[in-house]
Chains A and B, each alone.
Chain A
Amino acid sequence: DVKVTQSSRYLVKRTGEKVFLECVQDMDHENMFWYRQDPGLGLRLIYFSYDVKMKEKGDIPEGYSVSREKKERFSLILESASTNQTSMYLCASSLFGTENGYTFGSGTRLTVV
């Protein structure tokens, strides 16, 4: 069964901490994505990557960075966590073509206190 695995289901961090959210896929997908999901705002794209070592800003990249050193792993980094980054974070991966949907991880609910 194909999978996207997010390292933590729930996470509580303090303001100012550096936070790493890890995502690993086992499907040899080129594309990987990080979204945040907030009530009433839907899914908003933070960063994405078309291939290893590549990264592109999404719609709300401020306060975040990413790393993709290996094809299967895409990490989201909160350099200095703030309370307005409390949210649900979803990772997804896909093959490149437009005919392909995304496969999602089960999400990480991050609370910054």
Chain B
Amino acid sequence: AQTVTQSQPEMSVQEAETVTLSCTYDTSENNYYLFWYKQPPSRQMILVIRQEAYKQQNATENRFSVNFQKAAKSFSLKISDSQLGDTAMYFCALRTMEYGNKLVFGAGTILRVKS
């Protein structure tokens, strides 16, 4: 069975600092994709970053990067130089053929960036 676990319901960080959001997952497949989505108060879900399981290099998008540990089935998101606009709910998600090619989402982590 596929599962995605985000163990931190809420986190906060000071503006300009770095924060890491945790995500672990479980799947029996070897090839799959992992995603982080951001949902700000406006409710629009936005794709932040994507990682292919076969790629050892960690994905990076500007201030957002991941730490992908395939053996440990861990996929954490690091946000550097946090900005007030990063305040949002963040969802980790996994997509494989095992679950009918659908995304499986974690429960989400609320991140609050404080000035």
Binding site for B on A (CB under 8 A): 31, 33, 40-43, 45, 48, 56, 88, 90, 92, 96-104, 106-107
Give A22 to B88 CA distance when docked, in angstroms. Answer: 26
- CB of B72, distance to nearest CB on chain A (Å): 21
Given contacts A88-B43, A90-B45, A104-B44, contact A98 B95 (CB under 8 A): yes
Instruction: Check B44 against A42 for contact (C-beta < 8 Å).
Output: no
A-B contact count (CB 8 A): 51
Are the C-beta atoms of A99 and B91 separated by less than 8 Å?
no
CB-based contact B91/A106 at 8 Å: no
Chain B residues within 8 Å of chain A by Cβ, number: 26
Interface residue ranges, B against A (CB under 8 Å): 31-33, 35, 37, 42-47, 50, 52, 91, 93, 95-97, 100-103, 105-108
Of B32, B45, B96, B107, the residue contacting A104 (CB under 8 A) is B45
Complex A-B, nearest 4 residue pairs according to Cβ-Cβ distance, in ascending order: A104-B45, A42-B107, A107-B43, A101-B47
